[in-house]
Amino acid sequence: MTALFYVAAAVAVGATLLTITRLDAVHALLYLVVSLLAVAVIFFTLGAPFVAILEVIIYAGAIMVLFVFVVMMLNLGEAAVAQERRWLEPRMWVGPAILSVILLVEVLAMLAGGGGSALTGAIVGPKQVGAALFGPYLLGVELASMLLLAGLVGAYHLGRRTDAAGG
């Protein structure tokens, strides 16, 4: 299990570095999805399958779909159509595909071996996560929610359209 942890960590670090160094936004998003999936595998190897599932559903699923949707909405005409055709070329998908296959093989190996924890042997369930978030970490959770609310209000004010007549 420890070897699987290190493989997932190497994939996460590599995909994150590729995310930072890509000049094309879609390529960076693909590597970011692989990085988030690798972090989910790391959580699973540490005995936190609930957190791993949340990582996949919330970050790799919902937030990344939102990012891709925003990139697609920024259609800039004929140049954007030509760029989208380049994204469909197989060479653009080779890097993320290789890293994803490594993670898939790793997850299958973990599931075949029983899927326990690499360090503690214990499995953390939803009840323990909820008790921790609303117990000793309550202040942190509330501060994060206030920060998200401030971001939501800021995004609303930046995105709203105002009337040219002053209304």
The pTM (predicted TM-score) of the whole model is 0.61
- Region 75-85: mean pLDDT is 69
State the pLDDT at residue 24. 76
State the pLDDT at residue 74. 66
Average pLDDT, the chain: 79
CA 119-101-69 angle, to 5 degrees, is: 100
State the pLDDT at residue 16. 92
Residue-wise burial string across 15-52, b where 16 or more C-beta atoms lie within 10 A, e elsewhere: bbebbeebeeebbbbbbbbbbbbbbbbbbbbbbbbbbb
Q: Tell me how far apart the alpha carbons of residues 63 and 68 are, in angstroms, rounded to a whole number.
A: 9
The pLDDT tens digits for 93-140 are 788 888 888 888 887 887 777 655 555 556 667 788 788 878 888 888
Q: Domain spanning 2-118 has what CATH number? A: 1.20.120.1200
Contacts of 113 (CB under 8 A, 6+ apart): 1
pLDDT tier at 147 (50, 70, 90 boundaries)?
confident
CA 82 → CA 25, 69, 70, 72, distances in Å? 15, 18, 18, 13
Contacts of 122 (CB under 8 A, 6+ apart): 47
State the pLDDT at residue 102. 87
Could you tell me which of 117, 161, 145 has the C-alpha nearest to residue 2? 117
